[in-house]
Amino acid sequence: MAVGRQLVLALATLAAALPTAAVTSASAQPGAATLPPNAAAPWSDPTHHGPLEQLAGAVASTLAGRQVAVRCESPDAWQALVSASGDTELGFVPLQLDAAGTIADDASLVELSPQVCLQLQQFAAAAPKPTTCSQRTVRTAVVQRTRRVTVRRRVIERGRSRLVTSTISRRVRTAVRRVTAGPPGPCFRDGRPLAGGNAFWSAYASTATALLVLAHESVHLVQDRAGRPLPPPEQAESEAQCVGMQWLYAVAEQLGDSPDDAEAIAQYAYDDLYPSFRGTPYWSPACAPGGALDRRTPGTRSWP
């Protein structure tokens, strides 16, 4: 996913080629870490076989349906790769074209920016995931409590009246709020945030974007097969973005997320991130439930 992907592929023959989101998830426990904490930078292995690169490569291979690789580049290396385009790149799939302008070989590599790789690594190493919130149950209960109260009474002694003060115990009924902390759960539901301030949702958006980039580029791996011609960017990018959102939940699950939170991140991406792409090649009115870019198996899961 980039703001301007230069080499893309016509989608006229891809309707049957793209999977319908029947993607299996990893065997990690829900909400589990799938990478060790405090790992080295994801681009630190010069052979590009670092833990995140291997994990992300396995995710992309599952989505693409064949063996592919994911590479994380250092900030300097990334700048050298994308400097010619003049765009703010988040990821891309390198292509080779023949003299006729068709793709010479199947695409087999995803290049990811440093910031995307860092976000993916932090997400995979976290338990619970940074996109979850503590689920609290608030209940009001009426309880009886013992209270010491002061009582004044008038007594008559030897024909004279006087006030006597004493302290006694009484049982009184009191309403109390009881908050029970439950396990972490999704922070986004029914199109709205359930908790968190501006800083939290800024970080949430960065995480959702990184997951979407890996899903988006995995769609390009399906599109970019040998012998296919290059089309207008809006065709390839709008499909990759829309199908990528439908695959986002699978990416999150394979990085250790729970199914309910993975679904919530995908819904957030569609509700909050996707509208910002309107007017660009990444947006399409066909990206809607029942639309031409809806690739879900009917009745299997919620949109997207």
Q: Which whole-number Å values give the CA distances from 297 to 11, 121, 208, 218, 262, in the listed order?
A: 20, 30, 23, 19, 18
Q: What is the pLDDT of residue 179?
A: 60
Name the residue ranges covered by the structural domains of the chain. 1-131+187-304, 137-179
Q: What is the pLDDT of residue 136?
A: 61
Q: What is the pLDDT of residue 157?
A: 77
Q: Which residues, given as ranges, of the chain have pLDDT below 70? A: 1-30, 84-87, 135-138, 179-182
Nearest in space to 230 (alpha carbons), one of 110, 103, 64, 85:
103
Q: Which whole-number Å values give the CA distances from 4 to 141, 180, 247, 290, in the listed order?
A: 58, 48, 21, 28
Is pTM, for the whole model, over 0.85? no
